[in-house]
Structure 1
Amino acid sequence: MPLDAKALGTALREDLTLHSTLCRREAGAFQAAVRGPGEVVVACTQEQRLFGELGQQTEGAVAPVRFVNIRETGGWSRDAREATPKIAALLAMARLPEPPPVPTVTYRSGGRALVIGPVDAAERAAALVSDVLDVTVFATGPGQAGGAQARRFPVLGGRLRQITGWLGAFEIRWTADNPIDLDLCTRCNACVAACPENAIGLDYQIDLDACTGHRACVKACQVAGAIDFQREAEEQTERFDLVLDLRAADATPTFVQHALPQGYFRWDGRDPGVLLRLRDMVGEFEKPRFFQYKQKLCAHSRNEQIGCRACVDICSAEAIRSEPARQQIQVNPHLCVGCGACTTVCPTGALTYAYPAVPDLGQRLRTVLSTYLAAGGKAPVLLLHSQDAGQAMVDELGRAAQLKLAHGVPASVIPVPLWHSASTGIDLWLSAIAWGARQVAVLTTGAEAPQYLDGLRAQMDVAQTLLQGLGYTGTHLHLLQARTAQDLDALLRPLAAQRPAVPAVTARHAAVGEKRSTLDMALDHLIAHTPLAAAQQPEAIALPAGASPLGSVVVNADRCTLCMSCVGACPASALLDNPQAPQLRFVEKNCVQCGLCVQTCPEDALSLVPRLLLGPARAETRVINATKPWHCVRCHKPFGTLKAIEAMLGRLSGHPMFQGEALERLKMCGDCRVIDLYSASGETKVTDL
């Protein structure tokens, strides 16, 4: 790699000594470094295991060690001689402090496993793991040859109804509706031989559609007594820690979600790695709790009306369910796989990503971009990718470039690993453009759920529409779909050649924990530095419907009665009443376009308008509907609104209970209505005050 220690030192603002053969010859320099007080960054990941062991064996080693790959990501590329700013940015990112630890989710597995499938294949698979697992077989048919003569494992049979749960807590429900009790069956095959209809298979279950009721099998099984046609079908339940499913994925509806639960494995009988992972799933395991939820910000429901359900719809693990009675959603942390897609589509920030948190990820992106630009880099492109499949693809591309088989990662493209490629959204993308990125590209590798891709595209459409509406020409956001390193190579080269317009001044704001605040700061900077002249700036930018977290509410004044149901339903304080006058007021900056007001309105008088209103009016409170107050016909005190009372009178005028004096009382305030009612009854003499 063409490395320039002086240039890197200037970019990082310190003197650097270059150790270019550190893997072997200069290992002593590494040992000397870890004995010092400061942090140590090893700019290579090939020998990460070696350095980790060497650091542990070095006496007096106290310095924390971090690793960063500058080889495949920058040094092994046809642009390597121009990659110094990118390498400096990657080193600066590696030197950032580790994010604070997050709460964890615990799984406990005792190794009790259920193998589901044809009895012959299930028993063979069970034999491969039974030395470490306590295995039970659920037979779904005889398979090619049926089960072995010697029964080595408990066997269940019947109609499998449902499997729910996760590692250490799977619940299996089935109906034991077959006359043969597999616990009593000795596999002597006497029933199979006795049945003239061949209705009994070598899974020792009876095909009741083929059976004509001659009961020869019962006579043949008198010694074991395993066959009883009078036995009632019973639904049974049992718990297991692990499930190995040998049935074809397209033929079984056990789990239909894209992200399968921890501890559930599908196996086609070919990949031994599945069994190796299954064997390792005994003991206590922890994973990060990937999300934080603030119910008070949630726009999912109010008064059992459903508004926003973006997180429920996008979750590929079915870990999020709607609970309108509790005015919230419920996230199951044991099913959550940490993709973060729910947090990016959440318009309010009620769901936030915690691994890492947005402020930590924002600091990482700001550091990368500021270091790159300070080192003389031009037109940076952020390549956001997953830290497993995406990182592997980037590494493969770098190796291909080193062998002259590919161009490699361009010098202006800075790879940034994430836990999952779907874990960033419009707030961080627009902030990155404000911080100096020319483009932001999100890499997907084919392992992502289809709804993730739809969600990413929808958010990119909104962000790109905003940028273009503000006069920033070109394409700034890209969803890269690559299956191979060659695909990625072909996608990256055109990006490096593009020069979309960006703000002339880089932003100084930091990403914060409140999503709307981060988004607002990014928008404020982009608006303030728009290349459009004042006369060219539109009043508002229309945005794509459905995915926009920004917009207005339009009121049909002819239908609205100012009942203020929408005010009570609004979770973001965008809709407000006026205690001094019958007015409906609106703060557009607060609106998250959740639709709760539309769903709640009894008059169907409201509609959403996705847009970004430019100028100070966006943050100002404005009246969007008003009417005159209704005055009591008896005491002339104002109560209610003119339109609401007139609408009520119109609807009840034909009702037999509201005729004559009863209808007239509807025009009175609550106090006068009581007075008039008692006066008319003659029970109480009331003196008007």
Structure 2
Amino acid sequence: MPLEPKALGAALAESLPLHSTLCRREAPAFQRAIRSGDDVVVACTQERRLFTELAEQTEGATSPIRFVNIREAGGWSRDAKSASPKIAALLAVAHLPEPDPVSTVSYASQGRLLIVGPLDAAEKAAALVADALQVSIFSTGPGAAGGAQERRWPVMAGRIVSLEGWLGNFSLRWTRDNPIDLDLCTRCNACLSACPEQAIGLDYQIDLGRCTSHRDCEKACSVAGAIHFGRAPEALDAQFDLVLDLGANALIDWHAPPQGYFHLAGGLAHAEGLSTLLRLRELVGEFEKPKFFDYKQKLCAHSRNEVVGCNACVEVCSAHAISSDKERQRIVVNPQLCVGCGACTTVCPTGALGYTYPRTPDQGRKLRTLLATYLGAGGRDATVLLHNEEGGQALVEQLGRAAQLGRGKRDGLGGVPAHVLPVALMHVASTGIDLWLSAIAFGASQVAVLSTGEEAPQYLDALKKQMAVAQALLTGLGYTGTHFHLIEADAPAALDAALAGLRATRQRVPATAARFAVGAEKRGTLEMTLDHLMAQAPVLSAPPADAAAPLAPPLEIALPAGSPFGAVTVNKDSCTLCLACVSACPASALQDNQNAPQLRFIEKNCVQCGLCETTCPENAIALVPRLLAAPERKQPVVLNEAKPWACIRCGKPFGTQKAIEAMLGKLAGHAMFQGEALERLKMCSDCRVIDLYSAQNEMKITQL
């Protein structure tokens, strides 16, 4: 790699000696560094194991060690000579402190394995793991060869009702509805010989569609008593820690199935058959994983008063970990089922669901450090490439390796360009417009998200919608060009072509990079980002052509439906100012006025959840997705107001004329509201009680 120690050192404000054989002849330099107690960053991931072993063998080594890949990520590329700013940026990010630890989710497995599938395949699989696991089999048929004569493991059969749960806590419910009880069956095969229709297979269950009920099998089984046609169907359930599903169709057909559930369509002949069995053998004991999310109910726009508004997280979750609880007016996230994709946090408009692995402030600090170092070292037109830590990381490394091997060849791959800054994530669906727009504010020209085909389809749809919103915001503010890209590639050549295509157009970005810190609150981060982008927006900063011309109206940027920004319109002819929308609004965007009958609105707070629109009894409210690029978006505006109704007894104002008149009109013909009862509706609550009490006393005096 054409490294420039002086340029890198200047960018990092350090003195960087260049070592060419640090993992071999110059290893003492590494040993001296790790004795210092300071953080040590090793810019080599290939020899991670060797450096780790060397550190363990070095007396007095106290330094924390981190590893970063600068080779495949940029040093091995067609324009590696221009990659010093990127390499400096990657090294600067590697120097950042480790994120704070997060809480964990625990699993406990005793090794109780359920194998579901054809009996012959299930018994073969059981034989390979029975020395390490407690095996039970649920037979779905004999398979090609049927069951072995010797019954070595408990076997169940019947009609599966449900299978649900996770590692250490699976629950199987089924109905036993066959005349043959497998617990009593000795597999003597007498019933098979006696059955003239050959309705009994080597799974020792009767095919009731072929059976004519002549009962010869029942007579042949009189000693064991396993066959009884009069037996009523029985509902059963059992608990397991692990599930191996060998059926053609998965019992849990999710994109992200629960931990501890494995599906091998076609049995052990599946390409991953052996590796799955090895994985099963390891899943005995206690295990932990990070708790990937934080939930703040007070910010949640899911439901109010048993009315559902925002349902984005429930719809996007591919692990079925999120459900609606309308009674408690919230969503419920099952941490055992959560796989940490973070898609729910990306689509959440309010920030009620936050990603914790790592947290948003840590991701923001990484992006700010990356881009500030890159720009400070002379880099230009930065593209942040977000990829996952597994398939995406592997694909980036394959591209760098392919570029190095093909160096000098005309048709060779170009590698990761010098302006493309790879950033690894737990999952690419875990970031959204708050971090993407922050990256643009920090100085990036483009943000690209790499999908390698591992992602659920709904994740890609969500990312595309988020990108459409972010791009509409930037375009409306006058930042020309395309700033956001979803790259779908599963091979180095496809990724190489996609990255090369990012140079095709120029993007306009803020003239000055932002330096704010990304906060834990999503809406707060978005507000800081929008303030910076609007302050330097080309359409807002351009001087007026005629100083004497009247001021132009505030800029309104139309956004796609489902955007987390917008306004509401109110039909004043229909609105009765009942203020049901105010109590339904989770973001305090809609507010009342304690001193006058008014409905007020603060656009900055609106998340377009639709609860006000759904709650309004008069259907007087409609959503308007947009961004008002003006200070007015932070100020309350009056959407509707009315004259108050004065109590006919004391004169105190209560309600509105329109609301009281509408109520009187609807109840005037009701038998319960005639005469004095109708007049009391025109009184305030205090006078209504006084008048009713006085009327009752007058009635008693009259009776006396």
Structure 1 residue 683 and structure 2 residue 685: aligned? no
Q: 1:247 corresponds to which residue?
A: 247
Q: Match for residue 447 of structure 1?
A: 454
Counterpart for residue 547 of structure 2 = none
Q: Please tell me whether the aligned partners of residues 408 and 489 of structure 1 are also in contact (alpha carbons under 8 angstroms).
A: yes
Determine if the alignment matches structure 1 residue 465 to structure 2 residue 475: no
2:548 corresponds to: none
Are 2:561 and 1:545 equivalent residues in the alignment?
yes
User: Offset of 1:244 from its aligned partner?
Assistant: 0.3
- Unpaired segments ≥5 residues, structure 1: none
Residue 263 in 1 paired to residue 260 in 2? yes
How far the C-alpha of 1:537 sits from its partner, in A, is 8.4
What amino acid is the match of 1:324?
A: K
Shift of 1:538: 5.5
Q: Which amino acid aligns with 2:525?
A: T
Q: 1:555 aligns with which of 570, 584, 588?
A: 570
Give me the whole-angstrom Cα distance separating, in 1, the residues matched to 2:700 and 2:2.
102
Which of 510, 522, 545 in structure 1 is aligned with 2:517? 510
- Bigger shift: 219-228 or 429-438? 219-228
Contact 2:166 2:261 (C-alpha < 8 Å) held by counterparts = yes
Letter aligned with residue 457 of structure 1? K
Alignment of 1:368-447 (within 5 A): 368-404=370-406, 405-447=412-454
1:25, distance to aligned residue in structure 2 (A)? 2.4
Q: Is the 8 A contact 1:366 1:432 kept in 2?
A: yes
Q: Which amino acid aligns with 2:233?
A: A
Q: CA deviation at 1:19?
A: 1.2
Match of 1:666 in 2: 681
The CA distance in 2 between the partners of 1:189 and 1:517, in whole Å, is 73
**Stretch deviating more after TM superposition (74-83 or 14-23):** 14-23
* Mapped partners of 1:462, 1:411: distance in 2: 28
Aligned residues of 2:325 and 2:332 also touching (Cα < 8 A) = yes
Instruction: For 2:526, give the aligned amino acid.
Output: L
1:17 aligns with: 17
In structure 1, the residue matched to 2:600 is: 585
- 1:605-624 correspondence to structure 2 within 5 Å: 605-624=620-639
Map residues 476-555 of structure 1 onto 2, 5 A cutoff: 476-532=483-539, 533=542, 535=544, 539-546=555-562, 548-555=563-570
- What secondary structure sits across from 1:683 in the alignment? helix
CA distance in 2, matches of 1:571, 1:523: 22
| Match of residue 549 from structure 2 | none
Q: 1:233 — aligned with what? A: 233
Cα shift readout 1:481-513 (whole Å, capped 9, x = no counterpart): 112111101100011343200000111111000
CA contact 1:678–1:684 (8 Å) conserved in 2? no
Q: Is the 8 A contact 2:218 2:228 kept in 1?
A: yes
Instruction: Give the secondary structure class of the aligned counterpart of 1:10.
Output: helix
The verdict on how the C-alpha distance between 1:424 and 1:475 changes in structure 2, with shifts beyond 3 A counting, is same
User: Residue 380 of structure 2: SS of its match in structure 1?
Assistant: coil
Q: Which residue of 2 aligns with 1:340?
A: 342
Given that 1:413 and 1:496 are in contact with CA atoms closer than 8 Å, whether structure 2 keeps it comes out as no
Partner of 2:409: none
Cα distance in 1, alignment partners of residues 421 and 163 from structure 2: 44
Matching residue of 2:587: 572
- Runs of 4+, deviation exceeding 6 Å: none
What CA distance in whole angstroms lies between the structure 2 residues aligned with 1:288 and 1:217?
A: 55
Residue 359 of structure 1 contacts residue 513 of structure 1 at CA under 8 Å; is this kept in 2? yes
Alpha-carbon distance, 1:659 to partner = 2.5
Give the partner amino acid of 2:45: T
Deviation at 1:665, TM superposition (A): 2.2
* Counterpart mapping for 1:40-55 below 5 A: 40-55=40-55
1:640 to 646, 649, 655: 655
Note the alpha carbon deviations across 1:345-388, whole angstroms, 9 max, x for none. 11111100000000001000000000000011111000000001
Q: Deviations over 1:98-130 (max 9, x none)?
A: 001000111111111000000000100111111
Task: Using the TM superposition, give the Cα deviation of residue 683 of structure 1 relative to its aligned residue in structure 2, in angstroms.
Answer: 3.1
SS of 1:460's equivalent? helix
For residues 593 and 111 of structure 2, what CA distance do their matches in structure 1 show? 62
Q: Is the 8 A contact 2:592 2:599 kept in 1?
A: yes
Partner of 2:134: 134
Cα distance in structure 1, aligned partners of 2:528 and 2:28:
48
Within 5 A, what are the aligned runs for 1:267-416? 267-268=264-265, 269=268, 270=270, 271=272, 272-404=274-406, 405-416=412-423
Partners in 2 of 1:599 and 1:126 — Cα distance? 54
Aligned to 1:147: 147
2:554–2:630: 8 Å Cα contact kept in structure 1? no
**Residues in 1 aligned to 2:644 and 2:387: alpha-carbon distance in whole angstroms:** 58
TM-score (norm: length of structure 1): 0.97
Change (3 A) 1:363 1:484: same
Task: Provide the rounded CA distance (Å) in 1 between the counterparts of 2:255 and 2:294.
Answer: 22
Whole-Å separation in 1 of the counterparts to 2:497 and 2:519: 35
Tell me the residue number matched to 1:162.
162
Amino acid of the structure 1 residue aligned with 2:523: R
CA contact (8 A) 1:381 1:496 kept: no
Name 1:29's counterpart in structure 2: 29
**Cα contact 1:426–1:460 (8 A) shared by 2:** yes
Q: What do residues 533-565 of structure 1 show as CA deviations (whole Å, max 9, x unaligned)?
A: 25588521111012x111111111111111111
**TM superposition shift of 1:671:** 2.9
Do the aligned partners of residues 217 and 150 (structure 1) sit closer, same or farther apart at CA in structure 2, a change above 3 Å counting?
A: same
Q: CA-to-partner distance for each residue in 1:122-178, whole Å, 9 max, x for gaps?
A: 100111111111111110001001011111111011111111100000001111111
For the pair 1:649 / 2:664, whether they are aligned, the reply is: yes
Q: Secondary structure at the match of 1:326?
A: coil
1:212 equivalent in structure 2: 212
Size of the aligned set, in residue pairs, is: 682
Residues in 1 aligned to 2:332 and 2:345: alpha-carbon distance in whole angstroms: 14
> After the TM superposition, which of the residue ranges 87-96 and 629-638 deviates more from structure 2?
629-638
Determine if contact 1:380/1:414 at 8 Å carries over to the other structure: yes
Q: CA deviation at 1:518?
A: 0.3
